[in-house]
Amino acid sequence: MLTKEQNERLCRVGPGTPMGALFRRFWLPVCTADKLIEPGGAPRAERLLGQDLVVFRGKDGQVGVLDEFCIHRGASLALGRVEECGLRCLYHGWSFGVDGSVLDIMNIPADKRSPKLRARAYPVVEEGGLIWTYLGPKESQPAFRRYAYMDLPDANRVVLMWKTNANWVQMLEGGLDSSHVSILHTNAARPGWGGASDKKVGAMDDTGPSLEIEDTQFGYHYAAFRGRANGAGGNVRITPFIMPSGRIIPGGALLGYNSTLLIEVPIDDEHTATYSVRYADRPMSRADRLRETGLDDPGIYSQETQEFLFSRMEFNKQRRDLMETNWSGFRGISTEDAVIAVSMGPLYDRSRENLISSDLAIVRMRRRLLDSIDRMERGLEPVGFNVDSRSIEAVDASPPDGAHWRTLVPSHRIEEPA
C-alpha cells in the first residue's frame, strides 16, 4: 500500500504538483474531434489537469486551444463568437487567433495604440479522431506521439469518451487489473457462471491468473496466464502500460479480435475523461461499441455531454432484481469499470488497502509513475518520454511453446535494470 503522502503525490495533477508536471510533458487528448466538426461551430469549455481551457475551430478550419478566460476582464471565451481566423470575446470584442495573438480590440479608442498582449495558447494536433494538446514547457515539447490505429481508415475505429466522477488513478488501475476481468465482468467473461450457458470465453473461467511483468521503454508490459477449465492448453494476455496513463487491451475471445487503446486523462483531481479507441482491420459499428460498453443506455451515459451518469448517490441504478443472472447488476464492461471507480469516492486513500499477488501490475504502475516524478526532480526525462508508440501492441493467445512470452510482442523494447 501507499502512504497518505505517496497517494497525494500519485493522484493530484493540478498546476504546481509533481504528477501534474509529469502529465504536462506528454501530448494529451482534450476532446473528441466529433464534438468540433463544424468550422465556426460553438467553442467548447474543457478542463484538463485542473486548467480551464477553450477549444474552438475557426471558420478557416484551424483548431485552437486557449486558456478559457479572456485576458482583458476574465469573461469565458467559450461564450465567444467564432470568426474566420479566431475567437472574439462577447464582453468587449477582443479577438484572439489560434496562436493566442490579439487580432483586434473593439473597445479601444481610435487614438490609442493596442497593447502588446497575447492570450495563453497551446499546441494542437488533430489526429485519430481526437484533438490533442500539450500543456508543458515549450522548450521540452516532445514530438507528437502516434499510435498504430491512426494509420487505419476512419471506418476501422470507434472513438468514445466518458467523464466520470473519480480520480484518474482509480480509472487506470481498473484497466490494468487482469484478475478483476473474470469476476466483475463475469457475464461477459464467464457466461456459464449461473448454469445458463455452456459457452466458454477463452480461459476466463480462471479467476486467479498468475502475472509476470517487465519494464519497457514506454512504461511496462505484463503477461496474465490463465489455464483452461479442462486443464489443457492455456492462455496469456499481454497488456502494455503506456506512460503516463494509457494502455492497450487485447480483444481475443472476450472482445472479438481487435484491440482497444484507452487513455485516462485527468480533468482535475476528482474527475476523469476516459478516451477509448476500438480498432481492427475491418470496419466497425459505433452502435455495437456503445451496446458492448453499456453506454447506449441514456440513463447511464449522455452521448451529448459525454458524462457517465452515475454517482455515489445513485446506487439505486444497480439492477439487484436481475442479479441471479446478471453478476454485477449493470450492463457493459466499461459501465461496470466506471461504476466501481466511482464507488470508491472521488479520490481513494490507498493507505487503507491490502494488496495481494494479483495486484502486481497495479504496484508496478504506481512505481513507474512515482519513479518518473523522482527522475524529473533530478533533472531527467520521465519514463516513456518521446517514445514512438506505433509498435506497441496487446496480445491474447496461447503461450508460446518453449519460448518466453515476450516473443509474442517482439517490437517492445525492454528497459534493462539500472
**Cβ atoms of 384 and 142 closer than 8 Å:** no
pLDDT of residue 284: 93
Per-residue cell: 87 = 475567437
Q: How many CB atoms lie within 10 A of CB 403?
A: 9
Mean pLDDT of 294-311: 98
Q: Give the CA distances from residue 264 to residues 28, 72, 246, 345, in Å, rounded to whole numbers and listed in that order.
A: 9, 34, 6, 17
Q: Give the CA distances from residue 71 to residues 83, 87, 88, 154, 331, in Å, rounded to whole numbers and listed in that order.
A: 18, 13, 12, 38, 46
pLDDT of residue 227: 85
Residue 59 pLDDT exceeds 90: yes
pLDDT tens-digit series, residues 225-237: 998 544 456 899 9
Rounded CA separation 341/109 (Å): 54
- pTM value is 0.95
Residue 13 pLDDT exceeds 50: yes
Residue 200 pLDDT exceeds 60: no
Looking at residue 59, the DSSP 8-state letter turns out to be: T
Rounded CA separation 15/17 (Å): 6
pLDDT of residue 193: 84
Q: Which residue has the cell 496513463?
A: 245
pLDDT tens-digit series, residues 67-111: 999 999 999 999 999 999 899 999 999 999 999 999 999 999 988
- Please list the residues that pair with 164 across neighbouring strands: 272
pLDDT tens-digit series, residues 111-153: 888 888 999 999 999 999 999 999 999 999 999 999 999 999 9
343 phi, psi to nearest 5 deg: -60, -20
**Cβ atoms of 226 and 204 closer than 8 Å:** yes
**Cβ atoms of 280 and 257 closer than 8 Å:** yes
pLDDT of residue 7: 98
The alpha helices in 193-266, defined as continuous H runs, are 252-255
Cis check for the bond before 244: say yes or no (omega within 30 of 0).
yes
**Cβ atoms of 125 and 132 closer than 8 Å:** yes
Residue 197 pLDDT exceeds 80: no
pLDDT tens-digit series, residues 36-55: 999 999 999 999 999 999 99
Q: Greater confidence, 255 or 342? A: 342
4: helix, strand or coil: helix
Q: Which domains does the chain have, with CATH numbers?
A: 28-133 (2.102.10.10), 148-408 (3.90.380.10)
271 phi, psi to nearest 5 deg: -145, 145
Structure confidence at residue 199 as a pLDDT band (50, 70, 90):
low
**Cβ atoms of 127 and 134 closer than 8 Å:** no
